[in-house]
Structure 1
Amino acid sequence: MSREKILAAVKKNQFAHAPLPDLEILNTLTAATDNLVQQYSTVASAGGSFVYEVKDLETIKAILQKEFKHGVKIISSIPELDEYTYAGNVLEESSHSFADAELTILASNLGVTENGALWLTESQMNIRVLPFISQHLAVVICKDALVPTMAQAYAQIGNADYGYGAFISGPSKTADIEQSLVIGAHGPRSLSVFILT
């Protein structure tokens, strides 16, 4: 079949254009009185995350001190957690130098209750590789930054100015090999989410 015939057949079988659906109805699916923190905790925990409701950064420090041995490499993008290596001070280091990072602590401004996803931009990561190379990942988010659906999350970030961003949901996992679930196969072995209430 000639090139012209193929292109003519493709052109002939184009789908009719249709207007985009009105997504405003999604805002009515979850009532404003619903407990988004509880919903997020349920979904994220089911996905393998550890979720903590905390009042302040001091509570987070206390939890991390129990969970991680003194002297392990911990990198934080949150300046107030000043006992850890601040990510902003190691921007010039090679990505390979973070291979021994036990924990990375990041802040997020957007979480999604329907799937436990957290939106992280490059400015929040400081270094793109950090949320993916550490053995463990912790993310701090304010309860007011939770939205019910991904559609609402995309509405927030759609016109935002960011160079790179990623949704992260739970520890890395795969079931590709013999359909057996493996946690931490190609990224952090755990995700802890600290929700500031």
Structure 2
Amino acid sequence: MSSREQILAAIKRNQPEQQELPVLDSFRHTEAGDPAAFRKVVETLGGQVYEITSYTEIQPLVAEHYTDVTRVVSIRPEYFPGAITGWQEGDGRQLEQVDLAIIPGQLGVAENGAIWITEQEIEVRVLPFITQHLAIVLPRTEILPTMHDAYARIWSPSAGFGVFIAGPSKTADIEQSLVLGAHGAKSLTVFLIG
């Protein structure tokens, strides 16, 4: 018996007994998440939340709060009429000068302000990370109470890429000085619709 086979046999003999995974149903909720709690967490993380009833409210809010923005990419034309078109073509470098990207979110989590997005919504994976500012349009009815509820909802994702985004990019690693936009968008705005 080779040394490799001896090692593998020893590992096989010394396996712990199988145990069932714990049941986590007590962490799951049947009620919807609280939009006020979601808003509070997003704002604590440095983001801003605007409650809207129609997509037509997005463009005036952008004009009011992003006065220096000129290059806007919008996943859906109804979010921001007049946004840049043809931005999907290329390897991602064509997006390096984007000031604001407006994308849809699938669901939000009230306990930590995270928003789940997949490549199905954003079309180009780098978009929410390369843009200077990020805005996410999220249905008010798609806020869940906890991450347990979110993971239960996305248990078997159909997309090849998905990410939770919570607040603008930031770090305080260097000399304990907070830096916004360290490895992603400098700001996050959530348009809560519904």
TM range (shorter): 0.7 to 0.9
**What is residue 169 of structure 2 aligned with on the other side?**
172
Tell me how far 1:12 sits from its aligned partner: 5.3
Letter in 1 for 2:189: S
**Counterpart Cα distance in 1 of 2:104 and 2:33:** 21
Q: Would you say how many aligned residue pairs link Structure 1 and Structure 2?
A: 191
Mapped pair 1:195 → 2:192: yes
3-state DSSP of counterpart to 1:91:
coil
Query: Structure 2 vs 1, CA of residues 125 and 78 (structure 1 numbering), >3 Å: closer, same or farther?
Result: same
Using the TM superposition, give the Cα deviation of residue 82 of structure 1 relative to its aligned residue in structure 2, in angstroms: 2.2
Encode CA deviations 1:142-181: one digit per residue, 9 max, x unaligned.
Answer: 0111101111111111123112111111111112222332
Which runs of at least 4 in structure 1 moved beyond 4 Å after TM superposition? 2-13
Assess, with a 3 A threshold, how the Cα gap between structure 1 residues 83 and 177 changes in structure 2: closer, same or farther. same
Alignment of 1:87-126 (within 5 A): 89-126=86-123
What does residue range 128-167 of structure 1 map to in structure 2 within 5 Å? Answer: 128-167=125-164
Report if the CA contact (8 A) 2:33-2:144 is conserved: no
RMSD of equivalent CA atoms? 2.1
Residue 27 of structure 1 corresponds to 28
Under a length normalisation based on structure 2, what TM-score does the superposition of the two structures give? 0.88
**1:83 corresponding residue in structure 2:** 82
Matched with 2:44 is: 46
Mark the runs of 5 or more structure 2 residues left unpaired by the alignment: none
Residue in structure 1 matched with residue 62 of structure 2 by the alignment: 64
Q: Which runs of 5+ in 1 are unaligned?
A: none
Given the superposition, is the C-alpha separation of residues 104 and 14 from structure 1 closer, same or farther in structure 2, using an over 3 Å criterion? same
Counterpart check, 1:181 vs 2:178? yes
Of 110-119 and 157-166, deviating more is 157-166
In 1, distance between residues paired with 2:190 and 2:148? 22
Counterpart in 2 of 1:17?
18
Q: What is the identity percentage for the equivalent residue pairs of Structure 1 and Structure 2? A: 41
